[in-house]
Every structure is written in C-alpha cells, then in structure tokens.
Amino acid sequence: MGNFLTRKKKLVCGILVLLSTATGIFAFDENNKYFLIVKNLDIFAAFYRELDTYYVDDLPPEKTIQKGIEAILDETDPYTDFIAEENLDELKYMATGKYGGVGASINTNGEWTSITDIYPGSPMDKANVKPGDIIESMDGKSMKNIAQDSISKLLKGTPGTTIDIVFRHPLTNATTTKKIARQEINVKPVSYSGFVKNDIGYIKMTQFTENSGDMVRKAFEQLKRTNPGIKGIILDLRSNPGGLLDEAVIVANTFVDKNKLIVSTRGKVKNWDRTYETSGAPADLHIPLAVLTNHSSASAAEIVAGSMQDLDRGIIVGQRSYGKGLVQTTRSLPYNTKLKVTTAKYYTPSGRCIQAIDYSHRGEDGSVDYVADSMRKSFKTISGRTVKDGGGIEPDAKVDPTYLSPVAVSLLRKQFIFDYATQYYYSHPKIAAATAFSFSDADFEDFERFLENKDYSYKTRSEDALESFKTTARKEKYYDAVSKDLEELEQKLKHDKKQDLLKNKEEIKRLLEEEIVNRYYMMEGRIAKGLQSDNEVNKAIALLLDQPAYKKLLTPAK
C-alpha cells in the first residue's frame, strides 16, 4: 500500500511540476495555443487531484489516467499510440522482426491449443515438436480453456529462459514433457524466393524491418546467379503491413538507379521534412518487374509500389492497396514509456499522397471517412501516365480477389483441414517434393470419410441475404403477403453439405495440399505449393512474358 501511494504522489507531483514550468513559459500570451494547452492541463490536474482526494472509492491512477490517454488518442489516427513499458517488445518486433520466444504459431480450437507452424531452426524445431501437437500444460499449469493470447504471452520471454511444456500427441494422446529454451526469433522479411513458371523469379516480402532491403537485393541477385536468363521478377507485397521507411527506399534501390527520389515526407514541424533518394547502384534496371498488392498492402509496401509506378519501373498487379500515407515517429516518455505519433504524410515521386482516410475532418459523432473520388487529384508518372492520390495505389493490371467458398471457410475455421493433414502426416512417412505433391481423388474420398459425423454446418451468402430480407419484410409488415414465396425460396436454397463439398472439390484439394505440404516442408513448401494456383501470380507471369502487353501498361493513354 505504501508503494502504491508513493507512486500516486509521484505521478501527481510530476504533473504539477510540468504545469508550473510550462505556465512560466506560456502564461503571458492568452491567445497562444500553448497557453490553452497549459490551462486545460492545469484544470485536468486540479480535477484529478480533487477527485482522487474526495471520491468515495479508491481510483487506481494507472488505470484512470490510461483511460484519459485513450480518450485523447481517440481524436487522432489509429497509428498514434501510447506504448506502456510492458509492451515495448511489440514495438521492437515491429522495427526489427525479432522477439524472444520459442518459434511457433498456435491456434486454440475449443478447450485446447495446438501448434500450427514451426519456424525452421527455432527452439520448437530443435525439440522436434510437430504441428498438431497439443499444449497440455506449461510449467505445471494446465492449459485447458486458457485463451490463445494468454498462451502466446507465456511462450514468449527473455532469450535463455526456459519453459517446461507437456505436449499431447494429436492421435495417440501420449504425453511428452520438453524443456524449451527461449531464444531470439528473427522472422525473415523475405519469407520465400524462387522461380515460378518460364524463368520468372519470385520474391515474397512480409514486412519492412531492419536489413529487409538488403535481403531483397540478395534474394534477387541469387535468382540472377541461379538463372542468368531470368525473364522477369515478381515482388510480392500482398498483405505486407509496411514498417521502416528507410528500408522501403533500399528495396526500391534494387530496381532503380542512384539519386532517384523515392519518397518525401512533410508535416507540421518543417525542420523534419525530408526527401529520400536512392544512394547506391541498382541491382538491375531492365528486367521486367511486377509488384503484387492487395487491400492489406500498406505503408512502406505502398512506398515501394508507388515509386515503381511513378518511375515507370514496373507494373502493379492485383488490387488497390490499403492507402496509408502517414509516417510515425517514436518519442520517449517518462518511466520507459513511448509515444508513437504520426508526424508527417509521405508523398511518392509524382507528388501524390495516397492516404485514403481523412482523419483531420471528423463528423459530429467522431466518425471519419474515405477521401471521396471527386476529391482525388491527378498526377503524372515519368512517362506521363495518370495516377491519383487519396486512395492507395491503383493496380495497372487489376485482378479480382479470390474468395473461398462457405464450405471451405467452415472446414478451415473448425480446423478439419488442419486435423486431417495431421492424420495424413502420421500415416505417410514421406511425400513428393512440395511443388510435385498432389492430393488424389482417392485421398479426397478418404477426407470425405474423415468428415462423416463431423459438424461443419454453415450458412451460404444467399441464405444470409434471405434471412436479412425476411427480417426487413417483417419490420415493414410485408412478410405475411410473401411468406409462402419466401419459404419456397428457402427450401430451394438449402444447401447439401455433401454436394457443396464435391462442387468445391478442387478448391478444398488445394487447401489440403498446402496444409499437408507444410507438415513436411514447412512454410517455404506451403508458399511454393500455393503459387501454382495463385491468380495474381499467374496474371503477373503472363504480362511479364508478353512484352507488348507489359510495355502498353507503362505507356500513357492517348
């Protein structure tokens, strides 16, 4: 209790010292913005002091003031954030891709949590833990009905520390105790590189962390050494959330000449405005390039895609990117806390800012909205092609996203594809190479038998739409007049799970193949297998091999 009161007094005193100092600086100019800040901070401090002193129940200062901080942050964008000391590891991971842990992904399904992926060379890999293994207990505490986030936090920790885990075999239920020593896990920003069809190289980049630019260059140079006749390169930035701006410039420098503007930043503090140019020799200036984006490609990923588009160095294939044109800076605060604050907007070489949501203009209810198409301005690439601001990076070659069928989504969510892959792994000591492996019709029949008496019920989109219509009809008192027709339609829409399974057989087989391959060849095998049926990749390959079509996309419309 004494420590608690001491911390409370320190907190209040710290605020008062800050206020008295600031008041001395700004009190003489009542019209000054900073005077208004100090005035309201003074009111807040007095308000909190009186509330804390006289309120009937005790108010824990950390919790109370945290709520105040959160309320202030609600007025900013979602990227501006207060980072408590206990969350600094997350900030470090965002910048470096490194964390202390055991090197595995997990998933909770029902009462228990299973291992889903193992990182090569990680403590879990060294301990011979397999996907599908169930975490029975950790350090003597049962993990039954423990939330996935809680288990994830327990698995992480300072490198060198150990944790005793009891694993249960998914088929035999035999238990094994393993002492796992945590180590620094470095998640590779380049998760895969290799060749796809017809001498086209492929690089998958998952994040922009320290040294990721060098890793992209090394991957590209290795592809060129492996196949000097390389005909094109695909840089896959789909679902890449971004990261370090400097690394985006280095990635761009792989394909763009020295001293080329890649991005500029502008904000309130003019002394912090900067331009970022390439500083080294490129790895290649001529090999045809396709950059893949989707709605989850953001920030630094958009800087690379936008600069390649503005400089006409390559084509963008896929879907419009997320539209995050904001730059964050980390500022140190007392007691080892941090403020991650948006300090600027960034602009691609043509001068456009691709920020899609306008956080500076809020509705009366605090809501924000996307920049209207009518407000988006046009800019020109080096060759004179028209590009627009205010809405992410528009692809030069649009490919509609692929959506899974409801039956496939249900099989994934309820972990039946995962569980069957576990069963398959233990009954097949080896399989063909990742890209050569094929799930046969006989295998699919076995999968159907596996699903017998298992509940993978779901609603189709048509059934959801009909249910919504029925609700609206009841509210508007039309239901009685059309009830018979709706019942007939409902009967026609009722899906047969068995038929849906067969109707979507090829899609489900692909999902099974990727999950099974992952058991034998880990994540690289899963990616390599998935590329074979990837619509965006196949579109990019076709355009890179069709030079007239490729060049036409880079030529201004007449």
Using one digit for the tens of pLDDT, what is the confidence trace for 164-175? Answer: 999 999 999 999
The number of distinct structural domains making up the chain is 3
Contact 339/333 with Cβ under 8 angstroms? yes
Please give the pLDDT value at position 366: 74
411 three-class SS: helix
Six-digit token string for 88: 């600094």
| pLDDT at 25 exceeding the cut of 50 | no
Catalytic residue among 297, 299, 321, 410: 299
DSSP assignment of 439-455 equals: --HHHHHHHHHHHTT--
Please give the pLDDT value at position 493: 65
Please give the pLDDT value at position 29: 52
Same-domain check for residues 256 and 393: yes
Same-domain check for residues 216 and 296: yes
In a domain, 27, yes or no: no
Let me know if 539 is a catalytic residue.
Answer: no
Contact 203/193 with Cβ under 8 angstroms? yes
Please give the pLDDT value at position 87: 85
Same-domain check for residues 518 and 532: yes
Catalytic residue among 204, 324, 529, 539: 324
Phi, psi of 414 (to 5 degrees): -90, 5
**Could you report the per-residue pLDDT of 332-391, keeping only the tens digit for each?**
999 999 999 999 999 999 999 999 998 887 777 778 888 888 889 999 999 999 999 999
- Mean pLDDT for the stretch of residues 154-182: 96
Query: What is the residue whose two structure tokens read 């954030």?
Result: 81
88 three-class SS: helix
CATH no. for residue 208?
3.90.226.10
pLDDT band for position 483 (cuts 50, 70, 90): confident
In a domain, 1, yes or no: no
Q: How far apart are CA 52 and CA 84, in angstroms?
A: 22
Contact 338/313 with Cβ under 8 angstroms? no
Contact 213/254 with Cβ under 8 angstroms? yes
Q: Which of 163, 186, 209 marks a domain boundary?
A: 186
Contact 216/188 with Cβ under 8 angstroms? no
Q: How far apart are the first and last CA of the chain?
A: 77
pLDDT band for position 476 (cuts 50, 70, 90): confident
Let me know if 20 is a catalytic residue.
Answer: no
Q: Which of 379, 401, 423 marks a domain boundary?
A: 401
**Could you report the per-residue pLDDT of 186-243, keeping only the tens digit for each?**
999 999 999 998 899 999 999 999 999 999 999 999 999 999 999 999 999 999 999 9
Catalytic residue among 77, 133, 236, 310: 310
User: What's the chain's length in residues?
Assistant: 558
Same-domain check for residues 215 and 138: no
Same-domain check for residues 395 and 426: no
Domain that holds residue 377: 190-401
Same-domain check for residues 126 and 103: yes
Same-domain check for residues 280 and 298: yes
110 three-class SS: coil
- Mean pLDDT for the stretch of residues 48-55: 93
Please give the pLDDT value at position 494: 66
Six-digit token string for 158: 């300072």
Same-domain check for residues 255 and 216: yes
**Could you report the per-residue pLDDT of 438-468, keeping only the tens digit for each?**
999 999 999 999 999 888 877 777 777 878 8
Share of the chain above pLDDT 70, in %: 94
Q: Which of 186, 205, 231 marks a domain boundary?
A: 186
- Mean pLDDT for the stretch of residues 66-83: 92
Same-domain check for residues 308 and 389: yes
Same-domain check for residues 117 and 158: yes
In a domain, 86, yes or no: no
Let me know if 310 is a catalytic residue.
Answer: yes
Q: Which residue has the higher pLDDT, 114 or 28?
A: 114
In a domain, 203, yes or no: yes
Same-domain check for residues 518 and 451: yes
**DSSP category for residue 334:** T
| pLDDT at 73 exceeding the cut of 70 | yes
pLDDT band for position 31 (cuts 50, 70, 90): low
Same-domain check for residues 234 and 247: yes
pTM score > 0.95 for this model? Answer: no
Please give the pLDDT value at position 62: 87
**DSSP category for residue 394:** P
Please give the pLDDT value at position 360: 82
Q: How far apart are CA 225 and CA 55, in angstroms?
A: 72
